[in-house]
Structures are given as C-alpha cells and as structure tokens.
Amino acid sequence: MDDDEDPETAGIRRGIELTPEDPVSEVVALAERAEAAGFDAAFASGHYFNRDPIIALTEMASVTDDILLGPGVANPYETHPVKLASQVATLDEVSDGRALYGIGAGDKSTLRNLGVERDRPLRRVLESFKVAQDLWTGNRVDHDGTFEAHDAGLNHGPYDIPVYVGAQGPHMLRMSAKHADGVLYNASHPADVEWAATQVEQGLADRPDERGDFEFFVFASVSVDEDAEAARTAARPPVAFITAGAAPPVLERHDIDQAAAERVGEAIEAGDYGEAAGRVTDAMLDAFAVAGTSMDVAERFAAFDEYVDGVVAGSPLGPDRETAIPLVSAAFDEAEDR
C-alpha cells in the first residue's frame, strides 16, 4: 500500500467470473448475489461450448445497478473483432456505462475444435482492441493485418470502455502494460504473480503518459468450500484447461511434467473433459488453483496483494457457486485484514 493511500478504501479490489455453464437465469441470479456481496466486477467467460457470454452479461445488467460487467475474455478468433466491438458497446449501452472489454487469444485446445489456428496471438489481440477503440470513438476503420475490415463503422456511440487483456506469457503482459487499461493475468500462485509483475513493469516503462493509469489483476481459478477436499475436487476441470494451455517455462516453474500436461490437453481436444480433469495432479492443483476453505483462499489472496491491484476469482468458485460467493467474499475480507 502507498503511504498516502486511504486505509478506508485500500485493499484488494474484487472481481468474480460467472461462467455461463448453467442456464442464463441461474447465472443472472449469481450476479445479483455477487453485487450484494460487494464484488466490483463480474466477467463471463467465452468458451463456445457454454452459453453466450454477451447475452448472459446483458441479462446481468438488467438486474444489477453498480457492478461492472464484461467478457472475461472475448476471443477475436471465434468472432470478428469489429463484431466484438459492437457487442461490447451494446453491453455498455444497456448497462448505463458499466461495460469492461476483456479480450484474449483464447484456448488453443478448444479453438482446434473449431478448425481455428491461433496464429500471431499478440498481434491479433492488440489489433482487435485498437480497432475497437477507433470504432467506439466514432471513426470508420480500414484494417489489413491479422484480420480485415473495410470502411467499417458503428452507427451507435461514442463509448469509453476500458480494455483488459487476458494474458499469460511475457510478451502479452508487456504489450498489455504498454497499450491497454489493464491486464487479467491468468495465474493462481504467488510465484507466477511475482514473475508477471516484473513483465508488467517493463511494459509500463514504455507506456505513454496519455494512456493514463494501468491496473494489474490476477485472474485466479478459485474454489472454496467449508470442506477443503470438496473444493479441490471442484477445481480439477478448470485446472485441466489451464494446465493444457500452460507454457513450458510455467510448467517448469512448478515442477510439472510436460508429458503429463500434454496428456491433459489431449483429453480436452478429444472432448473428454471428465478424463482431462481426472488427469490433473495435486501439483497442478497447487500451481493453477486457489482451492480450500475460505481461510486457505484468504492466505493466497494476501500473498497476491503485494503485486496486484485486484483479484478476479475465476471458475469454478466452488462445488456450489451460490454458497461459494459469500465464502469468496469472506476470503477477501480476511485477506484485507492481514
């Protein structure tokens, strides 16, 4: 904490991921619960096999008043970046200016299911949100890079929507710090967050002053329950996806066998998500999830606080998301008191 920071407002800022894996009506009810529990922002993930995140976020907007809302994260390979810009702008309109634009390169394993090659991910993400920002200011856009747009424009707006880049590797982290409003760093272990903070600092050194403040959020897979083992079991499916997408240096940092990680990815590509979860080891769980009781989770959150501006509690939240939301909130409270 800075010496001049107000102790009444200091502490870990609170975000939550509400994956639309359940019926939209249930996810909307969770958003109401999250707002009541004091969360600042809610993100909906964008996997093709779940329900549409923009529709879910729009419904969330209709029953909430203050919580910020955004895709976490939108994928500019599955959907054309100009269309994504219009969708997020529409969300901003219906939520009275509460939209956030979370954007990232997506999961390699599931993109292969769609016949999509994730080429030049850094350029794709950067070009996508830069084009979106041009469109939101009312400009017409011609673009010929990782995607094409010819005299594209929106007939609504203007909008002022913050951009948060979903990042894991060093280049994406540094690019985010230089160009975006914030980063959603996909990690759950303090060693990874400490490493990422050095990458962010390098990017910030090249950030133009006119771009304003930058926010560093860790987007952690969180699973909390009064039964610690039940929480760890619930964390296995999302950890499978994280493991499958982890770069070799990350696996090495946590002494995770690369061949074992590849076997997890093979099961995901085959669509056998239960088998993928079953191949998750305890070492993978410890590295790629914050799982246990609310006190366990609070300890990990407190370890993040030295490096980040806030934490997004990501999927699965717990064996039961409805009961997990107040437990995650309690973990934030406990972490801030430490």
Helix (H), strand (E), coil (C) string for 66-82: CCEEEECCECCCCCCHH
| Per-residue pLDDT at 219 | 96
Is position 117 within any domain?
yes
Q: Model confidence over 79-128: pLDDT tens digits?
A: 999 999 999 999 999 999 999 999 998 776 677 778 877 789 999 999 99
Cβ burial, residue 194 (10 Å; 0-12/13-18/19+): middle
Any idea which residue has 């919580």 for tokens? Answer: 67
Is position 2 within any domain?
no
Is position 303 within any domain?
yes
The model carries a pTM of: 0.91
pLDDT band at 68 (very low <50, low <70, confident <90, very high): very high
Q: Model confidence over 296-326: pLDDT tens digits?
A: 999 999 999 999 999 999 999 999 999 999 9
Which domain, by its residues, includes 56?
13-337
Domain of 115: which CATH number?
3.20.20.30
Indicate the number of domains in the chain: 1
Contact 185, 214 (CB under 8 A): no
Contact 199, 170 (CB under 8 A): yes
Mean pLDDT of the chain: 93
Distance CA 233, CA 238 (A): 11
φ, ψ (nearest 5 deg) of residue 233:
-65, -40
3-state SS track over 97-133 = CCECEEECCCCHHHHHHCCCCCCCHHHHHHHHHHHHH
| Per-residue pLDDT at 12 | 63
CA angle, residues 235, 223, 258, in degrees to nearest 5: 35
Is position 3 within any domain?
no
Is position 124 within any domain?
yes
Is position 237 within any domain?
yes
Is position 66 within any domain?
yes
Contact 111, 78 (CB under 8 A): yes
Is position 7 within any domain?
no
Element (H, E) at 181: none
Handedness of CA 32, 36, 41, 47 (dihedral sign): negative
Q: Model confidence over 226-245: pLDDT tens digits?
A: 999 999 999 999 999 889 88
φ, ψ (nearest 5 deg) of residue 72:
-140, 70
